[in-house]
Each structure stands twice: as C-alpha cells, then as structure tokens.
Chain A
Amino acid sequence: MTTATVRETTTAADPTGAPTPPLAADASVQLHLDGVWLTVCSTARLTPGRGVAVLLPDGRRQAAVFLDRAGRLYAIDNRDPFSGAAVLSRGLVGSADGRPFVASPLLKQRFDLETGRCLDDEAAEAGVGVYAVRVGA
C-alpha cells in the first residue's frame, strides 16, 4: 500500500475545478499571530484529513492545523469548548455541503474549519477561534 504524502494529494482532482496551488513536501506551514507569520512545522508533518497541535509562543495557547485532501490548510483553536480539553487537532476532518469541518474526538461536535463556528450548537460561545494559515517559503 502506498503512503499518502502531501505531494500526492496535490495531484488529486479538485471537484470544484478551482486551481489548487501545489504544496511542496518540505515547505513551512505558517500561522498569522499578533501581526507576524509564525512558522510552526514542515508540510511533511501533515497528513491529509488529520490535524496536528501547535503550542503558541506564550506557552498557553494552542492551535490545531489541518490539511484536507485538496491540499488546503486550516487552523483553529485546539481547545474543545465543550470539554475544555485541547483535543480538536485529534478529531476527524470531514466535509458537509462542500464545507470542511473537524469533529471533536470527545463528544463529536463539529466545527467549521473556515469560520470556527460549531455546526451542532448555534450559541456563539460554542464556536472556536480561527487563525490565518499559509505555506511559506
């Protein structure tokens, strides 16, 4: 069986037909934080459909960074507002009506990866923050 790598997923057909920029296997993943772009890891550490957790420089905040099968990156806060535990990076990525989400591994609430909104609870406090994320040099 082949090992799915980031490079392979960039060749996957994009159902929307929108051009997807190629993702280099050894490029850096950067989060926009306090006005600067922070490099957090190499794209090689990401698996399509899963996330990784990133500890932010204040030593307290955590972000969850995801890669989807079309090679797009997303970053939201890692903390699950329903349990308080920092586990969202370990949830499963899915899509519904063309929008990507992650399902919390604890109680399965889903969060929109682009807006942080909770799809299973309308209350504003049920959502999570989002970060701008890009592939740097």
Chain B
Amino acid sequence: MDATSTHPPQAKKKLVLVGHGMVGQRFLEALAECGLTGTHHIVVLCEEPRPAYDRVQLTSYFSGRTPDELSVTEGGFMERHGIELRLGDPAEHVDRAARTVTARSGRVFGYDVLVLATGSVPFVPPVPGRDAAGCFVYRTIEDVLAIEAYAKAGATTGAVVGGGLLGLEAAGALQGLGLATHIVEFAPRLMPAQVDEGGGAALLRTLTGRGLAVHTGTGTQEVLTDGAGAVRAMRLSDGSELDVGLVVFSAGVRPRDQLARDCGLVVGERGGITVDERCRTSDPAVYAIGECAQAVDGRVYGLVAPGYEMAQTAAAALASDTSDAAFTGADMSTKLKLLGVDVASFGDAHGTAAGCLDVAYADSRAGTYKKLVVGADGTLLGGVLVGDTESYGTLRALTGSVPPVPAEQLVLPAGAGAAPALGPEALPSDAVVCNCHNVTKAAVQACATLPEVKKCTKAGTGCGSCVKLIGQLLPQSGDQGLCGCFGQTRQELYEIVRTLRVTSFQDLLDRHGREGARGGEGCETCKPAVASVIASLAPAIGADGYVLDGEQAALQDTNDHFLANLQKNGSYSVVPRIPGGEITPDKLIVIGEVAREFGLYTKITGGQRIDLFGARVEQLPPIWARLVEAGFESGHAYGKALRTVKSCVGQTWCRYGVQDSVRMAIDLELRYRGLRAPHKLKSAVSGCARECAEARSKDFGVIATAGGWNLYVGGNGGATPRHADLLAQDLDDAGLVRLIDRFLMFYIRTADRLERTSAWLERIDGGLDHVRDVVVDDSLGICAELEALMADHVTHYRDEWAETLADPDRLARFVSFVNAPEAPDPLVAFVPERGQIKPDLPLLTLRPPSAGGRDTALAPEPDSDLNLDLDLEGASTR
C-alpha cells in the first residue's frame, strides 16, 4: 500500500434521516451541495418500498405516468454520495440518551445528528364503517395502486370525503378510473383553505359541469356495508344516502410526530414537532423538517415549497454554526390544475390584514373568478384566481409592493378597459419568482436560458408554476436567430431552402443573411447547420447530396469533412456500419485484421458496433479501402445523421420474442442510413415487451407486440434521460415504416440546430399530441410530402466512403500536410495501455509561449525521436 494513504481516515459523523419523501430527498441534495455527504456517513430509513417520488403529481399516475416516472430521486444519487438508503425499513424507536435509532428490521443505527422528515398521515374522521373493505386514503403510490385495483374489480361509483386540495385530486383520480364521483365537503365551499366564497362558487359551477356530484355543507355520518363487509353506501349528515362502492378519505392530514412524542421531544398542541428557526427540535442533536414539523410561527406547513425551504435551512445549519439561514414561516401560495380547472391563491388570500379591501371580478359563464386583496396604501397583499391563472406568476411576484397600475385593471380581462397586460418587466428585481426555491427576478435574469436557470438557481424545478414567467424574463423574447449571420431559426432556413430551392450556402447568406453578414464567410454555427439542411433536402431541391463536393466541403465540421471522428490528439476513429448489430464471423475477422494492421485501439460501442481509434488522417483511405472491399459502409458516426438501430435477438432465437426484431432493425437502419438531421438519430427494436434493446431510450424505438409493433419517440439517454413516448400501437411493417418516415421528416423540418428529438418534443407547441396530429392524423396535410422526401432520400443514398475512394480529387485532402503528403503528424503518437494503444498526451503539452509576433509559432519540444523521413516535395526557399 502507498505510504501516503495509510493515515486513518478522519472519523465521519453519523447522520440518520428518518423519512424519504420529497422533503427528505431535497435535504439530501442540500447536504450534497454543502459538501456534507463527504464528511458524514448518512443512513436513510424509508417506510415506503420506493425512493422519494413526486407526491404532488400523484394523480398523474392515472394519465399514464408510471411510478418510476414520478420519482424525484436521480438515478445513482445515493451511490454517488455514499448514502445508505434503506427502503421498507422505517424507524420504530429513538433512544436520545444513547443516540440510536432502531429500525423495523431490528438494526440499530447510532447518530450524531438525527433528522426527522416523517411527513404526515391522512386524517380519517371517526365515522362508523371507516375500516370497511373499499375505504381508502390518498397519500402514496401504494394507495393509488390499491384504489385502482379495487375500482377495476367492480366499483362503478365512488365518493371522496373532503373537498380540499387533496380531495379534488382524489376525485380527479376516481373520475379517471371511470367512476361516477361524489365529493362530500363539510365546509360551505370547495377548497375552503385556499379560496373564498366567490372562488368556491366558480369552482363548484365548473366541476358540476364536468359531471361531478358536489355536496358542500354536508358531513359524513356513516359508511354502510354489505353482508361481506364491503362498502355499499354512505349516510350523510342531512340523512340522505349515497350508493357508492368505494370511499376515499381525504379530509386533511396530521403531522406524523409519534416517533418524536415517544422519545420525549416537544410537540405542538395540535401536533407537529416544535422546531426553532434553524429547524432544530428541543434536542439540539435532532432536527425536524417538512410536514411533521411545527415552525416558529406556530404553523405546520402542508405544502412542498416550505418543506424544501426547511430542508435547505437544516442543511445550512449543519454545514455551519454561524449559518444565517432561518425558516420563520412561508408563503402559502399555490397554483394547480384540479380536474382541468386552474386554481391559484397567493399571499393573504382571505384578506385578514386590518383595513384591507377586496377587488373582485367574476364571470360565471366563463367560470372565472379573480380577487385581489389590497392594503389601505395600495399594496397588493394577496389574491384568489379560479378558471384563469395566467397572471399568477406576475401577481404573486408583485405581492408586497404597490402595483404600477390600479388593482382593478389587474383583474379585468383584456379588452374590457384593462390596461395593457402587466408584463414581467414591471416586477421589481427583488421580486421572488420561484417560491419553491426562493429565487428572485434578478437571479433568474443572471442566466441566459431556462436550462441554465434550472441548473444554477433550481428555479422552476419545484412545482413548476413559475416556468412560464421565467421564460418571459429571459432574453429570448428578442432575437431567435440561428447565429450572428442569420436572423432566422433553423426551421425558417429549412423552409427558405426548400421553397426557393437554394443549393448554395453563399447564396443563402448573401440573400437571406443579416445585413452585416452578407458577403462574409458565415460562421462555425451556421455553416454545418445549413449544410445539414441542404443535405437533408438534396434530392428535392436538386443539390448534390454528397457531403464532400464543391462548396459543401467547406461547410462541414471536421468530422464530416474527413468522414471520421476527430479525437483529442488529432487522430480519428472509424466506425463501420453493422446494421442491427448483426455481423458475420468473416466480417468480424476483417475488422480485427484492419485494426491489427493499422495498430488501432478497438472498443465495442453502446450501439452494437465496433469503434477503431487512433487512425491518422492519411490512414483513413487505406483503412476504408479494406473495409469497403469486405462489404462495409460508412457508419456515419461522424455525422448528425442516423447512427445505429440496435436490436435484441428477437423471435428467431429468443423463447420470449414475438416478432423478428433483428430483421426490422436491419431494414430500418438500411432505410435511414445517411439521413442528415438537426442532430444524431438513434434507434432500437425490441422483440418483446421485455425491451432488451432499450428502445425507449432512443429517438425512435420499436417494441414488438403480438399484433405488430409499437412505436415510441423522443427517448434519450445521456445527461438528460427521457423515456420515449408511445406514438402509435400495433402497427404492421408497412404502417410502422410509413409512420417513422413521417416522424423523422417532420422532426428534420421543424427542429432547432442540435436539438435532439427529446428536446424537440418537449419544446414544440402541443408536444406529443401535436406531433401525433400531424404525422398520424395528417392535420397539416403534409404527410404525402414528408413521405416523398423520405422516398427521395432512400433512392439517392450512396455510401460516402465508397464514393470518396473512387475519386482521386476527393482523396487528395486526406493528408496530414499539403506539402508533405507522406509525412505523419509528429504530434499524433501513441503509448501502450492494457495491450492496446492510447494517445501520447504528454507530447501535446505546450511549452510556455514566447513573446508574441510573427514567426514565433509554438512548437513541440524536441523531446522525442521523431525520426521523420520528410518529403518536402514542392517546398522550396527562394
């Protein structure tokens, strides 16, 4: 062992987190951000069988989101930070004297710091029959799965006890399951905690119009059961009975503080573990955060945003004794869509401040209601919005200040004497735009793009209600142009090239470029982008599709220019196409022989191909001569083009396979090979639902069914993984190919430069539904044209490497030096590693620069025997 590593590691502090909900996970992320995951050994005890998920979006399970998709725990997070997450093993006992926690499994964990994030439990009113079969609560994924199973087993009518936020969510879920649904609310209006009487009335009208039976001002007296002990009806406080087969209790929640009570921590009168501003309980070694805690203002917060704030406060307190992070209370603003109705409330929604006034606007026909609460001095204090929450972001951010226009104009609809819509520019720079993460307008505007905002400030990653406002605050409102040379987007340039049949970049630049850029060179952004557009449309506009010809040659990135992938020392890698990943032993041997002969590093890629590294530019033609002779073609690994169509072995060999996935993968790869696109395209075909080819991580993925093929689109791996969405099911072979033709051509036509299908699908108006309308239902009437474009592509495909090898002019550029065609680049050298080569990187280290000026170009140290046999033919001095 190395002598320097024998020092005993600094003893790590032990931290136990009880509860892994959204707040628990946010706390772990905050620990990681503060660097505490390196100094603490962290154990998380979690009651549920799965890591933290988005409980706020629970209802979206019924619109197709899977439990996995609801997860808020990034894959690999625990491993990366060395956190031990124990699922299904809740804490049962805390011994504060010994500083230990005993879990259900019997394991005992010592702690230096204990953090309770146990959340809350649904409150079930003590009505007789509440334990009958068919009674549920609505809190976890397991609850949702149980409700679904019970409903599908035969219930036709359901009732939700509680007309608050969660109750309406649950009612939406029951409607989604096809049940006739009742809502029973004790208070005189729906959502009593959030909206006022007028808002409740607007909500009631709209929900009744959507087929829900709403009973307000009514209590639940008893759940009635049949002979088998299952729910058959409910008796209400007015004496009436409702015939229902299923009851969901959603009458509020209670902080889950039993663990704290049992170990003697101080809890509030109405529940909730008492904490100070730093979220510390009465025991300084124990913290409590989220819904289980009672904050210093005496309130228990049941929303996720305050919980996140507490998580960050506690982590900051642990990171530094002098942290000034404090949680003293939170804004209860909410904006959500319940049963298709937009509802929002913010600030002092009920007008509790002394001397405040209401400004309200109601339109019962449209189902909209807006109320603002304004202080005596004109300060906006809060408000309620039902049916139309467009202005929520702006209004919430203006809360606490005097709006620049009179309050009544803020609630009037456009055209009814309202001032021009109050834009986000009216917000003060310290206005809080994202409440979940407490991010101000100024902090948002320090970023350039939405992804940057999300990454740097976390704004928009909580409830997401501020994303629209953030978009308006970013500079994109102005110039959407591709680059400094073109004011148009890639999509607009595509249309110009297509309709005006422009085949030359210079033509396009000189006629359609920005004023100052016309007659210039273009730039590294627009040249390859336009080259790709021209290549995609080549047959249709009468351009030569060969990417190395004429002016096209000057536009391509170096990879396309040399038909290979540039690596860090200036050498190239080579990827022959292996359609569907199927290869004969003879061809496999050729690849091996080529690699051995040219001394290339070989590696199997993720796309079922073989990558050969370390070729010098002048070696590319002889390497490809061998490969082409053996029947290989370019794999287009260098291009923004179709890469590979991966496959599993399918029906032919696999006992589970239901279709010939290899055949289909080969057909698709050969059909779309060489297709130039805004970004690379990846695909896969799986022979059954087991999905061994991982088709749902691809731009277009195909999964076999007993009746044909399902087509999924917009998947991605990489840094921002996304599961592909189902576009169409049970297609026959011809139907599948036709739909992919249309999908790809529509993507090529409308995507931005370097925008993968996943990002494109997220960005375009209407998303997947719009794409389905266009490519399945032909809503724009362009499908015939899209198919014709693809047919042109298929007809005109030529192997770029075979063409290059046949043309001496094209081959002439494959030299390291124009004046010494035989000489290798002395900086491209290799050293051995694990029986193969790797780049000699020390050779690339530059010596310090000499004083600037002409003829002082940097040169490598003469530190190696370059042993050059120079052929300086054509070079002479005079």
Residues of B within 8 A of A108 (CB): 524
Most buried by A among B485, B569, B570, B859: B570
Given A95-B521, A128-B857, A129-B853, verify A60-B569 contact (CB < 8 Å).
no
Contact partner of A40 among B543, B557, B874, CB < 8 A?
Answer: B874
B549 touches A1 (CB 8 A): yes
Residues in A102-132 with C-beta less than 8 Å from chain B: 103, 105-106, 108, 110, 116, 124-125, 127-132
A40 touches B551 (CB 8 A): no
Minimum Cβ distance to chain B for residue A96 (Å): 6
Minimum Cβ distance to chain A for residue B135 (Å): 62
The yes or no answer to B738 lying at the interface (CB within 8 A) is no
Assembled-state Cα–Cα distance A50/B562 (Å): 12
Interface of B is mostly: loop
Q: Which residue of A lies closest to B841 (CB)?
A: A84
Assembled-state Cα–Cα distance A96/B854 (Å): 23
The yes or no answer to A27 lying at the interface (CB within 8 A) is no
Residues in A29-66 with C-beta less than 8 Å from chain B: 32-34, 36-42, 45, 47-50, 52-55, 57-63, 65
A53 touches B818 (CB 8 A): yes
A94 touches B818 (CB 8 A): no
B524 touches A110 (CB 8 A): yes
A105 touches B518 (CB 8 A): no
Q: Which residue of B lies closest to A92 (CB)?
A: B524
Kindly specify which of B144-152, B285-293, B821-829 makes contact with the partner chain.
B821-829
Residues in B786-845 with C-beta less than 8 Å from chain A: 812, 816-820, 823, 825-828, 843-845
A14 touches B866 (CB 8 A): no
Contact partner of B527 among A16, A38, A94, A136, CB < 8 A?
Answer: A94
A39 touches B875 (CB 8 A): yes
Residues of A within 8 A of B554 (CB): 4, 47-50, 92-93
Contact partner of A90 among B484, B549, B558, CB < 8 A?
Answer: B558
A92 touches B557 (CB 8 A): yes
The yes or no answer to B582 lying at the interface (CB within 8 A) is no
B558 touches A84 (CB 8 A): no
Contact partner of A61 among B557, B812, B819, B859, CB < 8 A?
Answer: B859
Q: Which residue of B lies closest to A52 (CB)?
A: B818
Q: Which residue of A lies closest to B526 (CB)?
A: A94
B550 touches A1 (CB 8 A): yes
B854 touches A129 (CB 8 A): yes
Minimum Cβ distance to chain A for residue B198 (Å): 57
Residues of B within 8 A of A53 (CB): 816-818, 825
Minimum Cβ distance to chain A for residue B507 (Å): 11
Contact partner of A129 among B569, B845, B858, CB < 8 A?
Answer: B858
Q: Mark B547-560, 1 if CB is under 8 A from A, else 0.
A: 00111011101110
Assembled-state Cα–Cα distance A92/B29 (Å): 42
Assembled-state Cα–Cα distance A71/B570 (Å): 28
Contact partner of B854 among A41, A54, A130, CB < 8 A?
Answer: A130
B558 touches A100 (CB 8 A): no
Assembled-state Cα–Cα distance A96/B517 (Å): 8
A105 touches B566 (CB 8 A): yes
Residues of B within 8 A of A65 (CB): 818
Assembled-state Cα–Cα distance A112/B329 (Å): 56
A77 touches B858 (CB 8 A): yes
Residues of B within 8 A of A33 (CB): 855, 877
Minimum Cβ distance to chain A for residue B860 (Å): 6
The yes or no answer to A86 lying at the interface (CB within 8 A) is yes
The yes or no answer to B849 lying at the interface (CB within 8 A) is yes
Residues of A within 8 A of B862 (CB): 60
B543 touches A84 (CB 8 A): no
Residues of B within 8 A of A41 (CB): 818-819, 874
Assembled-state Cα–Cα distance A65/B818 (Å): 10
B852 touches A85 (CB 8 A): no
Q: Which residue of A lies closest to B853 (CB)?
A: A129
Residues of A within 8 A of B819 (CB): 40-41, 54-55
Residues of A within 8 A of B553 (CB): 47, 50
The yes or no answer to B528 lying at the interface (CB within 8 A) is yes
Residues of B within 8 A of A13 (CB): 510, 519
The yes or no answer to B496 lying at the interface (CB within 8 A) is no
Contact partner of B521 among A16, A60, A68, A124, CB < 8 A?
Answer: A68
Assembled-state Cα–Cα distance A21/B544 (Å): 31
The yes or no answer to B19 lying at the interface (CB within 8 A) is no
B506 touches A84 (CB 8 A): no
B855 touches A38 (CB 8 A): no
B870 touches A59 (CB 8 A): yes
A38 touches B858 (CB 8 A): no
The yes or no answer to B520 lying at the interface (CB within 8 A) is yes
Assembled-state Cα–Cα distance A95/B524 (Å): 9
Residues of A within 8 A of B484 (CB): 96
Contact partner of B846 among A79, A90, A110, A124, CB < 8 A?
Answer: A79
A39 touches B551 (CB 8 A): no
The yes or no answer to B878 lying at the interface (CB within 8 A) is yes
Q: Which residue of B lies closest to A3 (CB)?
A: B550
Residues of B within 8 A of A25 (CB): none
Assembled-state Cα–Cα distance A125/B852 (Å): 9
Q: Mark B371-409, 1 if CB is under 8 A from A, else 0.
A: 000000000000000000000000000000000000000
Contact partner of B562 among A86, A90, A91, A125, CB < 8 A?
Answer: A90
Q: Which residue of A lies closest to B558 (CB)?
A: A105
B523 touches A96 (CB 8 A): yes
Contact partner of B543 among A1, A37, A48, CB < 8 A?
Answer: A1
A57 touches B878 (CB 8 A): no
B523 touches A84 (CB 8 A): no
Minimum Cβ distance to chain A for residue B552 (Å): 8
Minimum Cβ distance to chain B for residue A74 (Å): 11
Residues of A within 8 A of B870 (CB): 55, 59
The yes or no answer to B516 lying at the interface (CB within 8 A) is yes
B844 touches A83 (CB 8 A): yes
A63 touches B857 (CB 8 A): yes
Minimum Cβ distance to chain A for residue B856 (Å): 5
The yes or no answer to B7 lying at the interface (CB within 8 A) is no
Minimum Cβ distance to chain A for residue B679 (Å): 16
Residues of B within 8 A of A124 (CB): 849, 852
A85 touches B568 (CB 8 A): yes
Assembled-state Cα–Cα distance A115/B521 (Å): 17
Assembled-state Cα–Cα distance A14/B854 (Å): 27
Minimum Cβ distance to chain A for residue B619 (Å): 15
A79 touches B857 (CB 8 A): yes
B561 touches A38 (CB 8 A): no
The yes or no answer to B872 lying at the interface (CB within 8 A) is yes
The yes or no answer to B522 lying at the interface (CB within 8 A) is yes
Given A60-B862, A69-B506, A100-B521, verify A91-B874 contact (CB < 8 Å).
no
The yes or no answer to B227 lying at the interface (CB within 8 A) is no
Q: Mark A75-89, 1 if CB is under 8 A from B, else 0.
A: 011010101111100
Most buried by B among A4, A52, A55, A127: A55
Assembled-state Cα–Cα distance A127/B850 (Å): 11
Residues of A within 8 A of B516 (CB): 97-98
Residues of B within 8 A of A96 (CB): 484, 523
A94 touches B857 (CB 8 A): no
Residues of A within 8 A of B827 (CB): 79, 84-86
A-B contact pairs, 11 of them (CB 8 A): A4-B550, A45-B812, A55-B816, A55-B820, A94-B520, A94-B521, A95-B521, A95-B523, A96-B523, A106-B568, A129-B854
- Seen from chain B, the residues whose Cβ lies within 8 Å of a Cβ on chain A are 484-485, 503, 506, 510, 516-524, 527-528, 543-544, 549-551, 553-555, 557-559, 561-562, 566, 568-570, 812, 816-820, 823, 825-828, 843-846, 848-849, 852-860, 862, 866, 868, 870, 872, 874-878
- Seen from chain A, the residues whose Cβ lies within 8 Å of a Cβ on chain B are 1-4, 12-16, 32-34, 36-42, 45, 47-50, 52-55, 57-63, 65, 68-69, 76-77, 79, 81, 83-87, 90-98, 100, 103, 105-106, 108, 110, 116, 124-125, 127-132, 136
Q: Which 4 A-B pairs have the closest CB atoms?
A: A15-B519, A84-B844, A49-B554, A77-B857
Given contacts A40-B819, A84-B827, A103-B524, 17 further A-B contacts (CB under 8 A): A1-B543, A33-B877, A39-B875, A47-B553, A49-B527, A49-B551, A55-B823, A77-B857, A81-B849, A84-B843, A85-B568, A87-B570, A94-B522, A98-B516, A108-B524, A124-B849, A127-B849
